[in-house]
Amino acid sequence: MKLSYVSTVNVTRLPASPVPGTLLDRVETLTDAIATLATGFPDHPCLVVLDRDRRERFLTLGTLWRAAGQVGAALVARGLRPGRFVLLALPTGPELLAAYFGVMRAGGIPGLIAPPSNRFADRHVYAAYLSALARQAEAHSLYCDAAVAEAFQADVSALPDVTMLTPADVARSEAAPPPLTAAPDDVATVQYSSGSTGIQKGVLLSHRAILANIAATRDAFDLTSTDVSVNWIPLYHDMGLIDAFLMPVLGGTPAVLIPTMDFMREPALWLWALHRYRGAFSIAPNFAYALCARRLPDAELVSLDLYCWRVAANGSEPALASTIEDFTRRFSAYGFRREAMTPTWGLAENVCIATVHAPDEPPLIETVDRDALATENVARPRRGGGLASVSVGRAIPGCTLQIRDADRRPLPDRHVGEIWVRSTSLFLGYHHDAELTARILVDGWLDTGDRGYLADGHLHFVSREKDLIVIGGEKYAPHDLETIINRVPGVREGCTAVFGVLNEVRGTEDIAAVVETRETDVATLTRLEDTIRAEITRATGLGLRHVILVPPGGVEKTTSGKLARSATQRRYADRLMD
């Protein structure tokens, strides 16, 4: 049955934002921006927080500003001084949103970190992680919910010299802190880069850089005050903080936020929120599109209408051609248009996004010769039988890209090399790591650590430099092999880690794969391993030396959900020695 794409069933129309599109051109700091909005439009409902019970919590600009003042006052009363770090470990909700600006109102530097999740099932493991991070950051305070606070009750020495606050500690009667004047190039936020169990790098971002990235990304996505942003990406992730929270609020687009764990428990909630609020913009990692395309039952999608979804940004991990095809095919019956799929690429050291595929244009997917890519570092187009390569778009305004060789010399189109970025939103440096900062920030250019190629201005991501597998001098991208394995029935989508293991006898690397599966029967596991090996050989001509099948949770991931290949390799080192 063909859907009517103007259906108003179960639709909530959010008011257009009164925020002038020129605001980001007039203010110089984040605190100036939110203060200007709260003064000029105090009653505007800038945000809706929607949970899986369908409860809505509307947050006006005035309410957000007042709540931020209460948090700021509580921090000042406990001795916070300008320039000190405050770690925020809260789930998505009004408390976290107010705390972010509250820390700034008190002169502190907010750093959002992941609250406990299934990756930190043991509270002692989480407490140790948080304690190490607080020491590295020399944090003044930890603002968290009661569940996190309980993890430290048995051992208060785990957070020496750190003041712990919960929302219950923030008294409503406390006056707002005195106004503090920040400079455009002051540190506004410390963004913790992806990491697994090790200490994460603190990426220092200035007010100027964040505002520049927000404005450029908004313009690249062509977002307006009549669009609606709907997102579930966690706010401790740069894509969540910048593109799901700050960009719509400060850029003048009404926003809906879904707590991340609510999405994980009920992925269809994301799609229904887009339907309900007529969402035009949402950004998510590739795995979320794959999950919805392949796992949601039809019964959960009856009468769903996604015709409103104009920009389905796909970022944070490689956008796969198979996912784009599967998602488009599945949801075209519900009004989703192929041209809405919008691959992106970026990194925290550039605040967030650096490239965007043009909205309203179908994804650009080309097929390149796999052998030429591996042996010559050249992306040579071919008519099938090769590797599908997805363009992640062109550089956003204020950003310039170069592809360089190992000697930092620029390369021509279609030559694979290291991706370097120069932009108006580069980070100030890593906290307490001047050596690493100087190594990757050279003459105004950032060495991203990623490899890719340019073709007519379009960037194509190939791999992370540190993850490349080298066999006999030929280089292979792990995510290419992971994509093949993820298609094998019985494999958990997005839960395969492929990496190289040095074979000292042969003098080169073998390929290893750690693969999650829910299968437990011995005979079935044997067949699955055989199938995985056969599929890799069939598709690439390569052989897998090691295949380790593990239950759910067996593949290490970062706090933002990315594969942690090195951590996975360390975890199974003993099993890789035979």
pLDDT at 530: 95
Return d(Cα 516, Cα 554) in angstroms, integer: 6
Q: How confident is the model at residue 193 (pLDDT cuts 50, 70, 90)?
A: low
Q: Which residues contact 575 (CB under 8 A, 6 or more apart)?
A: 546, 548
Least confident of 194-203, 340-349, 455-464, 522-531: 194-203
Q: How confident is the model at residue 144 (pLDDT cuts 50, 70, 90)?
A: very high
Of residues 319 and 283, more confidently modeled: 283
Q: How confident is the model at residue 504 (pLDDT cuts 50, 70, 90)?
A: low
CA torsion through residues 30, 35, 36, 40, sign? positive
Of residues 148 and 282, more confidently modeled: 282
Q: Which residues contact 359 (CB under 8 A, 6 or more apart)?
A: 221, 222, 310, 311, 339, 340, 342
Q: How confident is the model at residue 466 (pLDDT cuts 50, 70, 90)?
A: low
| 15-69 tens-digit pLDDT | 888 888 888 889 999 999 999 999 999 999 999 999 999 999 999 999 999 999 9
Q: Does the pLDDT value for residue 509 go beyond 90?
A: no
In 3D space, the residue among 314, 298, 311, 319 whose CA is nearest the CA of residue 337 turns out to be 311
Q: How confident is the model at residue 124 (pLDDT cuts 50, 70, 90)?
A: low
Q: Does the pLDDT value for residue 176 go beyond 80?
A: no
pLDDT at 117: 66
Overall average pLDDT of the 139-158 stretch? 81
Contact call for residues 474 and 385 (beta carbons, < 8 A): no
Q: How confident is the model at residue 127 (pLDDT cuts 50, 70, 90)?
A: confident
| 355-403 tens-digit pLDDT | 999 999 999 999 999 889 988 999 999 987 888 999 999 999 999 999 9
CA dihedral 436, 439, 445, 447 (to 10 degrees): -80
Domains and CATH numbers, the chain: 30-44+58-182 (3.40.50.980), 209-466 (3.40.50.12780), 469-576 (3.30.300.30)
Contact call for residues 512 and 546 (beta carbons, < 8 A): yes
Overall average pLDDT of the 246-259 stretch? 95
Q: Which residues contact 275 (CB under 8 A, 6 or more apart)?
A: 10, 11, 304, 305, 306, 308
Secondary structure string (H, E, C) spanning 202-218 = EEEEEHHHHHHHHHHHH
Return d(Cα 14, Cα 134) in angstroms, integer: 39
Q: How confident is the model at residue 121 (pLDDT cuts 50, 70, 90)?
A: very low
Q: How confident is the model at residue 115 (pLDDT cuts 50, 70, 90)?
A: confident
Q: Which residues contact 512 (CB under 8 A, 6 or more apart)?
A: 498, 499, 500, 501, 544, 545, 546, 547, 548, 569, 576
- Note the pTM of the prediction, 2 decimals: 0.83
The alpha carbon of residue 282 and the mean position of all alpha carbons in its chain are separated, in whole angstroms, by: 12
Residue 173, number of CB atoms within 10 A of its CB? 6
Question: Can you tell me which residue has the tokens 């295949």?
Answer: 547
Return d(Cα 497, Cα 546) in angstroms, integer: 12
- Alpha helices for 444-555 (secondary structure H): 478-486, 522-540
Q: How confident is the model at residue 486 (pLDDT cuts 50, 70, 90)?
A: very high
Question: Can you tell me which residue has the tokens 């269809």?
Answer: 268
Q: How confident is the model at residue 119 (pLDDT cuts 50, 70, 90)?
A: very low
Tokens of 208: 């100027």
Characterize the bridge pairing of strands 546-550 and 508-517: parallel
Please give the angle made by the CA atoms of 149, 154 and 157, to the nearest 5 degrees.
Answer: 85
pLDDT at 474: 63
Q: Does the pLDDT value for residue 353 go beyond 70?
A: yes
pLDDT at 541: 75
Q: Does the pLDDT value for residue 250 go beyond 80?
A: yes
In 3D space, the residue among 418, 408, 402, 390 whose CA is nearest the CA of residue 475 turns out to be 418
Reduced to 3 states, what is the DSSP secondary structure of residue 386?
A: coil
Q: Which residues contact 448 (CB under 8 A, 6 or more apart)?
A: 347, 349, 350, 418, 419, 420, 421, 440
| 511-540 tens-digit pLDDT | 999 999 999 999 999 999 999 999 888 777
Overall average pLDDT of the 491-515 stretch? 85
Q: How far is CA 47 from CA 29, 110, 144, 194, 253, in A?
A: 21, 20, 21, 27, 9
What single-letter amino acid sits at 444?
A: G
Overall average pLDDT of the 406-434 stretch? 96
Characterize the bridge pairing of strands 341-346 and 311-314: parallel
Q: Does the pLDDT value for residue 331 go beyond 90?
A: yes
What single-letter amino acid sits at 157?
A: S
Residue 10, number of CB atoms within 10 A of its CB? 11
What single-letter amino acid sits at 147?
A: A
Overall average pLDDT of the 237-255 stretch? 94
Q: How confident is the model at residue 195 (pLDDT cuts 50, 70, 90)?
A: very low
Q: How far is CA 65 from CA 68, 91, 103, 177, in A?
A: 5, 19, 12, 12
Q: Does the pLDDT value for residue 554 go beyond 50?
A: yes
Task: Write the DSSP symbol of residue 300.
Answer: G
Reduced to 3 states, what is the DSSP secondary structure of residue 400?
A: strand
Of residues 214 and 317, more confidently modeled: 214
Contact call for residues 23 and 252 (beta carbons, < 8 A): yes
